[in-house]
Chains A and B, each alone.
Chain A
Amino acid sequence: MRPFRAPLGFLAALLIVLAACAHYPLNRALDPVPAAPSYEFPREANGTNTNGLFVCLVFSGGGTRAAALSYGVLERLRATPILWEGRDKSLLDEVDCISSVSGGSFTSAYYGLFPDKTFTDFRAGFLETDVEGALMTRVLSPSNWFRLASPTFSRIDLAAEYYGESLFAGKTFRDLGAGGRRPFIILNATNMATGERFEFTQPEFNVLGSDLGPYPVARAVAASSAFPFLLSPVSLKNHPAPPEVKFSREMRLAEGDFYDNRRRYQWAVNRTRYGDAVAYPYLHLMDGGLADNIGLRPIEDAFRRGFIRSLMNGGEIQKLVFIIVNARTEGQDGISRQEKAPGLKSVAMKTATVAMDNYSFDTIELIKELRDQRRQTQGVLRAFREKCPGAGAQPRLASEVEPFVVNIDFAAIKDPERRRYFLGLPTSFKLSREQVEKLISVGGELLAADPEFQELMGQIGKPGR
């Protein structure tokens, strides 16, 4: 009997069919009648959380270095006892939102999904894992070659599968927002077309006529950390939907603000273009650090026009705390030491990444300016009441807000040798146990040493700690 020999043409056709079958998971269109509450900031505090003490954390990019540093801060917040509104609790119980980018998104998403398991499993499950090696194994596995040959399946989709299986247990945004619990997690990526940040929240998905609820958290984290060149973009479908579904009323009004408020105008027009799902059927996302490597912009937006503004105007916030965990490093500037102009590879890499940290300090300064403006407004109103008692009744703010901006940065380490060590750590998803241990430790240490954190603790910290 002659052995079976498949014709070469048949095998080639089979390969093409197999490759064509592989497709990244598409984000679903919005149901006309939504089945579950959408993933938006829950206005009502629940459990031990209150609106009066409003705490937002911001986790920057920086691979495992950023993930470990932010984990260290979470650990310290958990070990920080406070007395607020007559109740003993930890400061971590009062965290209301976390906005994150790239490496920081692994910590925020994991904590959002598994708040209790975070302090027992995250370290071994992610921080001390060779994620790069695991991803490479998947890429090199013959079973994935056919899938990677597909034009609609790429390395980032393999990475998202790996994160979903190994870390996030296939959970979706419906799980992340279950019960309207806090903290509200904002995972940030960058829209490749506009260069603007894209956040994985339902209002942003409304613009795409899409339901974020069934979307895997792992894919959002993959988008948030899709570093240029090493990983490919995450793609989303822009579904057709009526304008009143896609766009909020505020977005429509802001389209007319070109002269009065360019920031608000730009925020609106970068989104309303997706009203035309025929002209713009897809949106491609890369590392959130390309637009904002701190992850602070969503919080700034919430302060100017979003959920923080609404709560402040409602008089619900008494203390407003922003804790910015910035894992930035200082790379060796090899370029400036060479007479020869940098080559194509260096130029490409620099072009893609040089902006990532360029405006990070500026973003932090912006939020400090907003803090100072609020303090100034309150001061002016107070002074006017005291110095001009006969001027008649003046309107009052619903409540005075005491704002704090805590800035965690390796540059604050006093010992020069230790500072150099942390500022020289690589950006990768593979660090040694010792490096991870040191990062976790320094995260808590820098938090405790920050002057504004100490001032806050002087007011609400439990005596004796």
Chain B
Amino acid sequence: MEFLVVHFPRSRVVLVDGVKNGRTEDLLELEAGTHVVSLGPPSNFTPSELTIRLRGTNPLEPREVRFEAV
């Protein structure tokens, strides 16, 4: 399994490939491969989504992505 942390200034639901998958700042465990990451409503963040390739992570060195508030 691979590991991802999604950052956003406020706690928010994380959507992975359009499905609810935990919250921002939590360590998320996902399958390797290409994923589209976004946040739950309201849509006051940018970018609207991020496409990432998850590979070669571990629990202590997860992939990190960041959304900014707008």
Contact = CB atoms under 8 A, between A and B. Distances in A.
Most chain-B Cβ atoms within 10 A of its Cβ — which of A257, A260, A313, A380?
A313
Contact of B26 (A257, A261, A397): A397
Interface in B12-53: 14, 17-23, 25-36, 51, 53
B44 to A, nearest CB: 22
Given A249-B17, A377-B29, A313 B22 contact: yes
Contacts of A309: 21, 29-31
Main secondary structure of the interface of A (DSSP, over half): helix
Interface residues of B, number: 29
B13 to A, nearest CB: 8
Given A249-B18, A315-B22, A257 B34 contact: yes
Contacts of B20: 43, 310, 314
Contacts of A315: 22-23, 26
User: Which size bracket describes the interface of A in this complex?
Assistant: 20 to 34
Contacts of B54: 260
B42 to A, nearest CB: 19
Given A250-B18, A309-B21, A310-B21, A264 B27 contact: no
Nearest to A377: B59
A418 interface: no
A396 interface: yes
A261 B33 contact: yes
Contacts of B59: 377, 380-381
B15 to A, nearest CB: 10
Interface of B: 1, 5, 14, 17-23, 25-36, 51, 53-55, 59-60, 62
22 contacts: A249-B18, A249-B36, A250-B18, A250-B35, A253-B33, A257-B34, A260-B33, A260-B55, A261-B33, A265-B33, A310-B21, A312-B29, A313-B14, A313-B29, A314-B20, A315-B23, A380-B59, A381-B59, A394-B60, A395-B5, A395-B26, A395-B62
Given A257-B32, A381-B27, 6 more contacts: A248-B18, A250-B18, A261-B31, A261-B32, A309-B30, A395-B27
